[in-house]
Amino acid sequence: MARYRKVDVRLWGDERFRRLSRMQPSGQSLWLYLLTGPHTTNVPGLAHVGEAALAEALRWPTKAFRKAFREVFREGMAEADWEARVVWIPNAIKYNPPESPNVVKGWAATWDEIPECRLKLTAYQHLKASVKAIGKPFGEAFEKAIGKPIANQEQEQEQEQERKDRPPNGGSSSPKGPTREQKDQLIAEWKGRYPGEEPAWARLKETWIQFAKAVKVYGFDEVLRRWRLCLQEKDPFFKGHSLKQFLSGNVFDRWATSKKDRPAGYSQAVADKMHRLTLEGRE
């Protein structure tokens, strides 16, 4: 049986605690702070806070904070939408489950204050499944307190439109477009590698057409596996890669077996230029 200890969030503001030697930037230190810091809310794992505020609270340089967050993100322990200033810790509810359905009902006000974004939808789906697993009264309380997020309503409308657009003979368009969850995951992987930057390639229709073709041939899990290998690569050439460039055959195929198989012959100047053009949305 697991053993738990409660941590008062006021610990971080305690005068004597603040006089102690500071935590140095690391993935472990950041994980503990994300889980127990004063930015946390009564909704387990969900917080409205930006990276600048977190770095300042920890008194860490932004560069060091981003490095530590990449570690936490890499292990699947936390996600963030820095533009919306939303942080999500999937396993927080495991460590701090609601004690009663009334506690779940009390999430309503906090939930409304969290900015609408794809990460909020991800949190919604995870929290809904978690509280339902605790018991039916908890699931009913969640439905009453939270309802359906706007993003989820939009997704249902898109799915309905897809059904209307489907050929009358029962066939399907080819290739089938990516789901929102797949898009969000690929974008989140990129943001985890390059915090503070926005992927211009995500706004290009051609990117997702190319992605749909790759998924049709290889399957989403294989595309995601190779994407992660590419993002882990330290060669500066790959920092310039957008998803669309990555999916081109001569690059994508090189990640079939190992991240050691990579394109060669690119100078630092070319790598920097590719990265700049990608951020500007020109490919």
pLDDT in tens, 131-183: 988 999 999 999 988 877 654 555 554 555 555 545 444 444 444 567 888 88
* Residue 164 lies inside a defined structural domain of this protein: no
For residues 139 and 195, membership in a common domain is answered with no
Confidence of residue 214 (pLDDT cuts 50, 70, 90): confident
Confidence of residue 233 (pLDDT cuts 50, 70, 90): low
For residues 128 and 17, membership in a common domain is answered with yes
Query: How many residues in total does the chain contain?
Result: 283
For residues 141 and 203, membership in a common domain is answered with no
For residues 139 and 226, membership in a common domain is answered with no
Whole-number pLDDT of residue 223: 81
Nearest to 259 by CA among 246, 270, 248, 272: 246
* Residue 174 lies inside a defined structural domain of this protein: no
Mean pLDDT of 210-230: 79
For residues 88 and 209, membership in a common domain is answered with no
Residue 18's CB: how many other CB atoms inside 10 A?
11
Three-state secondary structure call for residue 241: coil
For residues 207 and 124, membership in a common domain is answered with no
* Residue 67 lies inside a defined structural domain of this protein: yes
Nearest to 254 by CA among 246, 262, 266, 242: 262
* Residue 94 lies inside a defined structural domain of this protein: yes
* Residue 72 lies inside a defined structural domain of this protein: yes
**CA angle in degrees (0–180, nearest 5) for 9-11-15:** 140
**159/143 Cα distance (integer angstroms):** 22
Question: Does 27 have pLDDT greater than 90?
Answer: yes
* Residue 87 lies inside a defined structural domain of this protein: yes
For residues 36 and 98, membership in a common domain is answered with yes
The whole model's pTM is what? 0.56
Domain residues for the domain of 128 are 9-153
List CB contacts of 98: < 8 A, sequence separation 6 or more.
44, 104, 131, 134, 138
**109/131 Cα distance (integer angstroms):** 18
* Residue 118 lies inside a defined structural domain of this protein: yes
The structural domain count of the chain equals 2
* Residue 97 lies inside a defined structural domain of this protein: yes
